[in-house]
Amino acid sequence: MTAEGSDPRSIVGAIDWGGTKLLVGLVDDEGRVLASRAVPTPTGGASNVLSRAVELLRESLAEQDRSGDALRGVGVTVPGVVDAAGHVLKYAPAHGLRDVPVARELGMHVGVPVRIANDVDACALAEVRFGRANFENFAWVTISTGVGGAFVLDRRLFRGGGLAGEIGHVVVEEGGPRCGCGHLGCLEAVAAGPAIALHARSLGLPARSAQDVAALAASGNLIARSALERAAAALGRALAFVQNLLDLDAVVLGGGVARSLNFDVIRATLADRVLPVPGRHLPVLRLTALEAHAALLGAASLVLPPENH
């Protein structure tokens, strides 16, 4: 049921296709999530994921007593590289996917325009549209099972040739741990959740995950604390490169591991390494307020009408 006088097509479908979780919801133009469903990401290929997403979208519409006609469009975030038009998932090596025509396949089922974006880029777009702060120039950094980044410059996502923002592969420790990309000492190989847990185990801690390390640190374990501080310092070094190059207003952190890092260590490392100019302002460093819905809201923003300014 829609409120009297409201535009029946003022809602969009949003799909957050994650490596482990598939989140589907309905979002209005104020960024309210009206209904949502989360399931483990189906295995067996992209078609399984997309058909499950369509089912969840229909369930969400039914819950809201709406039909597919209510949708203005469907936005999708994907865990990989996307073509410039926002239609095709070009490459997602961790998932063995290449050239998946997501917009076309979904469009056949939902009958409305479909746009897709890289998941980290989408989080940055969500922060632009729905975040509490109004930063002109900022970096979004996701720290979870990997480390991803996106840059918003003059309130627009900077895509470069399509691969901009890969802060996870800035080298922060020469000769450091081997990264999934093949290089040594990338930020991701030091500060992502699995890297933190691996380092903690090498120090003798019984940690299967970064959450385990964080729990030990919270209970006063100094080794666990130092393991997390190593990751925080690595992030500070990477952000200092970024700050010297781009002089940003802010860095917004998301992802399950980010909140476990010591922000004082990140700030101090960053401050030590930027060009010292009298009166210089360092970027604001904060956790996103969008929580676990950041990517879902980013997906929605792909198909919502432009904001009126």
Task: State how far the Cα of 295 lies from the Cα of 168, in Å rounded to an integer.
Answer: 18
Q: Which stretch binds Zn ion (CB under 5 A): 10-18, 88-96, 185-193, 296-304?
A: 185-193
* Residue 297 dihedral angles phi and psi, to the nearest 5°: -70, -35
Q: Of 169, 199, 230, 237, which one interacts with Zn ion (CB under 5 A)?
A: 169
Taking the complex as a whole, the smallest distance from the CB of residue 92 to Zn ion amounts, in Å, to 16
Integer angstrom CA distances of residue 191 from 33, 36, 119, 227, 282? 31, 31, 19, 10, 21
Taking the complex as a whole, the smallest distance from the CB of residue 183 to Zn ion amounts, in Å, to 5
Judge contact between 147 and 192, C-beta under 8 A: yes
| Nearest residue to 165 (alpha-carbon basis) of 198, 122, 208 | 122
Residue 238 interacting with Zn ion (CB under 5 A): no
Residue 192 interacting with Zn ion (CB under 5 A): no
Residue 46 interacting with Zn ion (CB under 5 A): no
Q: Which stretch binds Zn ion (CB under 5 A): 79-87, 96-104, 164-172, 276-284?
A: 164-172
Taking the complex as a whole, the smallest distance from the CB of residue 169 to Zn ion amounts, in Å, to 4
Q: Of 61, 143, 186, 261, which one interacts with Zn ion (CB under 5 A)?
A: 186
Residue 172 interacting with Zn ion (CB under 5 A): no
Judge contact between 254 and 289, C-beta under 8 A: no
Q: Of 15, 24, 179, 214, which one interacts with Zn ion (CB under 5 A)?
A: 179
Task: State how far the Cα of 149 lies from the Cα of 127, in Å rounded to an integer.
Answer: 13
Integer angstrom CA distances of residue 256 from 192, 194, 214, 297? 10, 12, 11, 17
Residue 103 interacting with Zn ion (CB under 5 A): no
Residue 181 interacting with Zn ion (CB under 5 A): yes
Task: State how far the Cα of 11 lies from the Cα of 71, in Å rounded to an integer.
Answer: 6
Nearest CB to Zn ion, comparing residues 100 and 190: 190
Given the rule CB under 5 A, which residues bind Zn ion?
169, 179, 181, 183, 186
